[in-house]
Amino acid sequence: MLVMGIDPGLSRCGYGVVRQKGRVTEAVAAGIIRTDKDDPVPQRLYELQVELADLIDAHRPEAVAIERVLFQVNVRTAMGVGQASGVAMAAAAGAGAEVFEYSPTQIKKAVAGWGGADKEQIGQMVQTLLSLPQPLKPVDAADAVAVALCHLAHRPAASRIQAAM
């Protein structure tokens, strides 16, 4: 099972590809896509679309998990994040991947055990769960890996429910 996690953003969009085989979960790729704040927003969204499509095409994940955008924080930033998440969803669906959304609380709970975990704890747990020699940098990349791990944590439960029916 190959899963790509995406932490959507216009200036910095994190991505992380994780493979699970039996009990072993390993990191395949992780990084961030940056777009230039001085460029027009439509151009930046298009660049994001192309880069994400290329990444999905290169790794061919069966599932793409995207962090859900919440509006409580900052309406101005949320707009860019919402637009970026729309572009990411369209790119993933266009590549034929199944797309899933998880809230920040779901992601934190799945990776660190509780919904109030901070970025540093998430980074540490990502390092531990994937047996990495050092924390993943930058944090947006670790966050994206956490989204992928959240999907893997939710998936077996869904399968078990199906199997029990």
Told to judge if 67 belongs to the known catalytic residues of this protein, a careful annotator would answer yes
Rg (CA), the chain: 15
Instruction: Give Cβ neighbours of residue 53 (< 8 Å, ≥ 6 apart).
Output: 91, 94, 95
- CA dihedral (134, 138, 141, 147) in degrees, to 10, reads 80
- 53 makes contact with a copy of itself (CB under 8 A): no
45 forms part of the interface with a copy of itself (CB under 8 A)? yes
Q: Residue 41 interacts with a copy of itself (CB under 8 A)?
A: yes
Size of the site for a copy of itself (CB under 8 A): 27
Nearest-angstrom CA–CA distance, 16 and 90: 18
Which is the catalytic residue, given 7, 38, 54, 98? 7
> Is 135 among the residues that bind a copy of itself (CB under 8 A)?
no
Cβ of residue 137: shortest distance to a copy of itself, in angstroms? 27
How far apart are alpha carbons 138 and 147 in whole angstroms?
15
Piece in contact with a copy of itself (CB under 8 A), picked from 17-25, 27-35, 81-89, 144-152: 81-89
Q: Does 79 engage in binding with a copy of itself (CB under 8 A)?
A: yes
Where are any strands of DSSP class E within the chain?
2-7, 12-21, 24-34, 63-67, 98-102
Residues numbered 115 to 134 that lie near a copy of itself (CB under 8 A) are: none
38 among known catalytic residues: no
Number of Cα atoms under 13 Å in the Cβ half of residue 34? 4
Residue number, 2 or 89, with CB nearest to a copy of itself: 89
Q: Which of 64, 46, 53, 47 is nearest to 95 (CA)?
A: 53
Q: Rule CB under 8 A: say whether 62 interacts with a copy of itself.
A: no
Which residues would be at the binding site for a copy of itself (CB under 8 A)?
Answer: 40-43, 45-46, 48-50, 69, 71, 75, 78-79, 82-87, 89-94, 99
Which residues are catalytically annotated? 7, 67, 140
